[in-house]
Amino acid sequence: MKMFSKLALFLISFYQLFSFAQAAQAVSPVTALPDAGLQSVQSTAKFHVLRMKPGQDFLIEITEWAKRNKIKAASIVTVVGSFKKVNLRYANLDSTTAQNGFFEIVSLVGTFNESSAHLHASVSNSKGETFGGHLVNGNIVYTTAEVVIAEIENAVFTREHDAASGWDELVIRPKR
């Protein structure tokens, strides 16, 4: 009976996973939800894996890679690695804060395309103190940065001024 139960759970899990994967294959146009003001594009994704080496500037490498590969819409899925210099802009400030030392990348996420990037990072220093903010140029890889990127195949990302926030914000359109 135990074996039958395990098999049944496996089959149910497999069915749920397969159903989810099939749903992800469907592509729909941009949908605006008027009551919430949301935009969405349902899409498949192509994954890319990059490894940055010591001395490379994270943001420069990502944006140059996106230009070379004509990336219209992408998201950083995960990053594992370290920086020897960190340069971040904290919330609602125009200036940046740069620090030298050894920093583990705890989290690094965001959206980008071939012309712009909106990335946030959290790092921890050798004392275990963790801080984060908006990633700008000047985040220099110490040992490695192993990066997994999801290229959103059926969307185009642009940034346009948003009067409500005062910043250039993400606009999502279907790829034509």
Residue 35 lies in a domain: no
Residue 151, Cβ neighbours under 10 Å: how many? 19
- Judgement on whether residues 86 and 168 belong to the same structural domain of the protein: yes
The pair of structure tokens assigned to 155 is 């969307």
Q: What is the pLDDT of residue 37?
A: 72
Q: How far is CA 140 from CA 41, 57, 61, 100, in A?
A: 34, 5, 10, 9
pLDDT digits (tens, 9 = 90+) for 108-135: 999 999 999 999 999 999 999 999 999 9
Residue 38 lies in a domain: no
- Judgement on whether residues 121 and 57 belong to the same structural domain of the protein: yes
Q: What is the pLDDT of residue 82?
A: 99
- Judgement on whether residues 101 and 127 belong to the same structural domain of the protein: yes
Whole-prediction pTM value?
0.78
What is the total count of domains within the chain?
2
pLDDT digits (tens, 9 = 90+) for 88-109: 999 988 899 999 999 999 999 9
Distance CA 121, CA 107 (A): 6
Residue 75 lies in a domain: yes
Residue 34 lies in a domain: no
Q: What is the pLDDT of residue 13?
A: 53
Residue 37 lies in a domain: no
CATH number at residue 48: 3.30.1330.80
The pair of structure tokens assigned to 100 is 């030298």
Residue 49 lies in a domain: yes
DSSP state letter for 120: E
Q: Is the pLDDT of residue 4 over 90?
A: no
Residue 36 lies in a domain: no
pLDDT digits (tens, 9 = 90+) for 39-82: 888 899 999 999 999 999 999 999 999 999 999 999 999 999 99
Are the C-beta atoms of residues 89 and 113 closer than 8 Å to each other?
Answer: no
Domain that holds residue 162: 43-174
Distance CA 31, CA 165 (A): 22
The pair of structure tokens assigned to 12 is 């149910």
